[in-house]
Chains A and B, each alone.
Chain A
Amino acid sequence: GIQVEQSPPDLILQEGANSTLRCNFSDSVNNLQWFHQNPWGQLINLFYIPSGTKQNGRLSATTVATERYSLLYISSSQTTDSGVYFCAVELGAGGTSYGKLTFGQGTILTVHP
């Protein structure tokens, strides 16, 4: 099956710092999403980004589908950004692959005040 690798596994920042999280995947994809799992366990949708670049406030994401990677940028980090960031992809074969998200292991982000 498709492999999804996220890096770094852990990241510790001071408030105000910037960071880049990476997601590599092993095959072509129909869907790629970034999620933030907050300390209460909720999965928050950050970006639906099978290709291209999107921005939402201090967060932005870029997916280069032809090179099989996606980047999540967090600028001016805040303590509320702490949690686990997941990348999830849907294999691009269509048909029986539809909707089956494969998750990476996540990046644990800790932002200190």
Chain B
Amino acid sequence: NAGVTQTPKFQVLKTGQSMTLQCAQDMNHEYMSWYRQDPGMGLRLIHYSVGAGITDQGEVPNGYNVSRSTTEDFPLRLLSAAPSQTSVYFCASSFLPWGASSYNEQFFGPGTRLTVL
């Protein structure tokens, strides 16, 4: 298993440009999410999805869009990049609790380092 993969690893954008950060997982996880990490801070939740066709906002959703057309992929779109979106972006995935099992350990991708000039 490749686990959670993210592309690209690094990206530099100019203010106003758009781009899509890719995230894929091969563990058949229903739950996927995006976090951002700013210097000296922990991670903050941007958007999440509990399955194909279902997405919702996290703590810091402004300026980002997501969609979930398949179980495996969960891309994050920046429609008009701003310097405040300079950050490291992490994608994560986990199982949803089912029946008697509450197991929902989350696994993170390697991150995308984004700089907006």
Contacts and interface: CB of A to CB of B under 8 A. Distances in A.
B108 to A, nearest CB: 4
Contacts, number: 61
Nearest to B110: A42
A43 B45 contact: no
Which DSSP category, helix, strand, loop or mixed, fits chain A's interface?
Answer: strand
> Chain A interface residue count: which class?
20 to 34
Interface residues of B, number: 29
A88 B107 CA distance: 12
11 contacts: A43-B108, A45-B108, A88-B106, A90-B104, A98-B50, A99-B31, A99-B50, A99-B94, A100-B45, A103-B42, A104-B42
Interface of A: 4, 30-31, 33, 35, 41-43, 45, 48, 50, 86, 88, 90, 98-101, 103-106
